[in-house]
Amino acid sequence: MSTSLKRFAAYLEQAERSPLTIKNYLSDLRAFAAWFEEANGDPFEPAKITPTDLREYKRWMVSHCGFKPNSVNRKLATLKSFIHWATETGLVADARALKIPKAEREERHGPRWLDQREQNKLLRVVERADQPRDLALIKLLLNTGLRVQELCDLTWRDVMLTERKGTLTVRSGKGGKRRQVPLNQSARNALLAIGYQEHAGKRAHIFAGQRGPLTPRGVQNLLSKYAAAAGLEGVSPHALRHTFCKNLVDAGVGLEKVAALAGHESLETTRRYCEPSLKDLERVVELIGEEE
């Protein structure tokens, strides 16, 4: 299995998958291999996978592990990619016989975002903490919609500010795609406050701690700390990315522009931000109330 994993990892790297994606794929495959060997009493090899193995592994994930549909579907997608690759490389004779089980269905919910009151509560807590780096980080997430890995990868050379304008370059977004994001006044001020003029053009990471550049886990821990102090739940880097998109939609910005700013490959992804939340529905029904 180790040889197959190394070859598959090399294939993913050539396909320009992100380090986090590769890590997740390999973790999923190691878990499947461990289950396979325990269930069958036989060392794992790609050629030994059968349709029964795939069906039973899905059943085991749902009934024994209690994984949510989203997790089950992600692991099944990993297996599908692996089997496709194994067929192309001759490790599996015929992928058509290895039909991946149908995905688990889950009730669809709109993405988590912070309304204006929640955004203000979070910002007030960070402002009171008097930590310019943390405040700049949160303001940048709220005003650019960066993915957390994109934020962690940012260096000072990726930012260009003038007196009235600014741009931020994402050099390797999802799928290895490059894009530019205009910076509004809030984002520009946040970067100026943490030393843009001193560091402009340098290759140093913008957001770093004592041990080097911040990691996605470090960003999540930072947000969790401030969210707890603000009495907020479900605050993550991705929730702030959702908030950025939702704020644009609420401001009347077209989906094509929102998709371009967020780096979405499909408008269907962006369209999710148009799904009304309960608070949106509560607000509109009040518009037709007869009593004041």
Residue 128 sits in a domain whose CATH number is: 1.10.443.10
Query: How is 197-261 classified by DSSP, letter by letter?
Result: HHHTT--SBSSEETTEEPPHHHHHHHHHHHHHHHT--S--HHHHHHHHHHHHHHTT--HHHHHHH
Given pLDDT bands bounded at 50, 70 and 90, which one contains residue 175? confident
Residues 202 and 148 in one domain: yes
Q: What is the mean pLDDT of residues 226-241?
A: 93
Residues 156 and 269 in one domain: yes
CB 192 within 8 A of CB 161: yes
| 102 is a domain residue | no
| 110 is a domain residue | no
Please name which of 139, 196, 147, 156 lies closest in space to residue 176, comparing C-alpha atoms. 147
| 286 is a domain residue | no
Residues 137 and 265 in one domain: yes
| 81 is a domain residue | yes
Residues 53 and 125 in one domain: no
Q: Which domain holds residue 215?
A: 116-278
Residues 78 and 131 in one domain: no
Residues 74 and 130 in one domain: no
Given pLDDT bands bounded at 50, 70 and 90, which one contains residue 110? low
Q: What is the mean pLDDT of residues 34-49?
A: 91
Given pLDDT bands bounded at 50, 70 and 90, which one contains residue 105? low
| 111 is a domain residue | no
Residues 42 and 134 in one domain: no
Q: Which stretch of 2-6, 28-32, 101-105 has the lowest confidence by average pLDDT?
A: 101-105
| 190 is a domain residue | yes
Residues 166 and 214 in one domain: yes
| 288 is a domain residue | no
pLDDT of amino acid 33: 92
CB 83 within 8 A of CB 46: yes
72: CATH: 1.10.150.130
